[in-house]
Structure formats: structure tokens, C-alpha cells
Amino acid sequence: MAEDRPQIYLITPPAFDAEEFAPKLASVLDAHDIACIRLSLASRDEYEIGRIADAMREVAHARDVALVIESHVALVERHGLDGVHFTDGAKQIRYGRKELGDDAIVGSYCGNSRHEGMNAGEAGADYVCFGPIGETNLGTAEPAEHELFAWWSEVIEVPVVAEGALTEELVTKFAPVTDWFAFGDEVWREDDPAAALGRFIKAMS
């Protein structure tokens, strides 16, 4: 593995059966070197989220992969997770850090806003996500431009993550200017997620 290749960050589907998804996740983790997994669930059922978190933690931690949960700070320590990912820029970074301590992972999605990303970094974020990278009809944000990543990677020390509507062509283009790529539906919609991720990794070279 190339030392300067971007690291891989996986985003779970918004809804799934834990027993069916666990072996699928395990197969991807066993096939590739994954830095972090984000549990990104649409459910607002605390019991259901907790049950899935426990199942995914077992798979991830057995392979020494960090698992963060989107938004739900109170569930991090309760379920033995590694941190939290916020979706609203810098707004909750200080709160998350205060609640979880210095050892927890605290990251945030900042859309295509350089200003929001800088604020998140100054507030103590461990990483900042920009996206979507490709064209998509989902959400309202314009794609995060290559020049934003190029500037960030030169000027800012906080690791930057590229996510959203990724293609192999975009991965090739952005690989020199991002620290991590976050893959979600791009791999889970495929019959063989591990093979799909492998194609993206090959595109980084």
C-alpha cells in the first residue's frame, strides 16, 4: 500500500438489518485497510440505533477499526464507540469534545464551505469532510471544488475527507489533495462491496 495514498473511511447505509450487514462489512474490512467507519442511521429509535451500534462495534473493533456515530453524542460512551461525526459544520465541535474528552474522535461535515471547515478545525475537529464531490440531485449544496481541497491540503493541518457522489475518475483527480475518501452508497449498492472498493483504491494510484 502506498504510504501517501488517501486513507479509507466507510459510511454505513442509512438503514439495514444488522445481522445481514455485519458479514458484508466484515468482508470489506478483511479485504482492505480501513481507517474509520461512520454509523450513519436514519432511525430515531434509540434502542434500534444502540443494537446496531453494538453489532457494528464488534465487527469493527475485532479488526482494530475505529467506529464513530453520526450526531448521537450520548450514545458514544454507552456503546463503546470511538467518537462522533457531526453534520452541521463547526456548531457542535466544542460540545462534542467537552462531552467525550481529548481521546475521542470528533469530526464534522462542512459542505463546500472553507469558512465552516476552518471554524471546525479551530474548534478542535480531528477531521473535516467536504462534499459532495460529484454531481448529485440530493441535498442543496453545490459540489466541493478541487481547488478547495488543494488549498486546504497546503495550508491547513487538520485532515480533510472527500465524500459524496464519488466516481473512479473523481477519486483519481482528488487523490493528490485529500487525506481520506469516505465511501458509502458507492460501494454498498454493489453486489460485491469489497471488489467495488478495490476499484476505487486502484483509481487512487
Domain membership of residue 150 as a residue range: 7-204
Question: Where residue 182 sits, what CATH number does that domain have?
Answer: 3.20.20.70
pLDDT at 2 over 70: no
Which pTM does this prediction carry? Answer: 0.95
| Calpha distance 29→183 (Å, rounded) | 13
CA 49 centroid distance within chain = 18
pLDDT at 203 over 60: yes
Question: pLDDT per residue over 123-170, tens digit each?
Answer: 999 999 999 999 877 666 689 999 999 999 999 999 999 999 999 999
Q: Which residue shows C-alpha cell 479551530? A: 122
Q: Which three-class secondary structure state does DSSP give residue 120? A: helix
The answer as to whether 92 is a domain residue is yes
The x, y and z cell numbers of residue 181, run together, are 475518501
The x, y and z cell numbers of residue 138, run together, are 440530493
Residue 83 backbone phi and psi in degrees, to 5: 165, -165
| Calpha distance 153→140 (Å, rounded) | 25
Q: How many domains would you assign to the chain?
A: 1
The answer as to whether 2 is a domain residue is no
Question: pLDDT per residue over 60-82, tens digit each?
Answer: 999 999 999 999 999 999 999 99
pLDDT at 136: 79
The answer as to whether 1 is a domain residue is no
Sign of CA dihedral 124, 127, 132, 133: positive
pLDDT at 3 over 80: no
Omega into 132 within 30° of 0, i.e. cis?
A: yes
Question: pLDDT per residue over 27-39, tens digit each?
Answer: 999 999 999 999 9
Which band of pLDDT confidence, cut at 50, 70 and 90, is reported for residue 1? very low
Question: pLDDT per residue over 77-110, tens digit each?
Answer: 999 999 999 999 999 999 999 999 999 999 999 9
